[in-house]
Amino acid sequence: FAKADDDQIVPSAIEGQSGYAEELDLSIGTSAHDSEPSIWALRSGEPKFLMNFDELFSTEWQEVALESGFKSGAAVPLIYNDVTYGVLAVYHEAAGRFDDTERRLLTELANTVVFAIHKIETEQALASDHYVEVTVQLTRPEYYLAELAQNEQLRSDTAAFTVHGTVPHGDDVLQ
């Protein structure tokens, strides 16, 4: 697992051979490692599965991967509600390692991981003693907040109400 930190991929948890991740400059903004699976997945927002590193054009990351004993790799971006948290990357010493079942499994695992990360961050935000005061202008009367704003008791200068959260429910709809 690696976090996307500004324009850099920062490995957070490495299991097995760690030299590959430590040796590369995993800057998202540079073109030197564009085809590296983790960078490719983060930039495209789509999972990337490379079945045989030997069949690729020679690049620095490919040479480092082969020297590290890797022949295939997978990278699945960790994105939830348009927020990029990082990438789940798996490399293997055998070529052709990621069949359809393993691709689905890694994609589902990434979805579970990113949901858990989002849930933890949301719980920490809700439990904090920090708050944000906002002024909202509602342009569509069907939002429930518009109905509250029309309530005469809440229209005075001293009236206030607190929204503890909203939940996305389809495209452009909050509940």
Model confidence pLDDT, tens digit, residues 102-125: 999 999 999 999 999 999 988 887
Is the entire prediction scored with pTM above 0.85? no
What confidence tens digit (pLDDT) does each residue in 37-53 have? Answer: 888 888 889 999 999 99
SS3 117: helix
The yes-or-no verdict on residue 60 having pLDDT over 70 is yes
Calculate the CA dihedral of residues 117, 122, 128, 134 and round it to 10 degrees: 140
Summarize pLDDT for 153-164 with one digit per residue, the tens. 666 666 666 766
Closest CA to 41 of 26, 56, 52: 26
Q: Name the residue among 142, 140, 134, 138 with its Cα closest to residue 161.
A: 134
User: What's the CA angle centered on 118, arms 114 and 124, to 5 degrees?
Assistant: 145
Tokens, residue 141 = 């009367």
Query: Given this model, what pLDDT does residue 98 score?
Result: 93
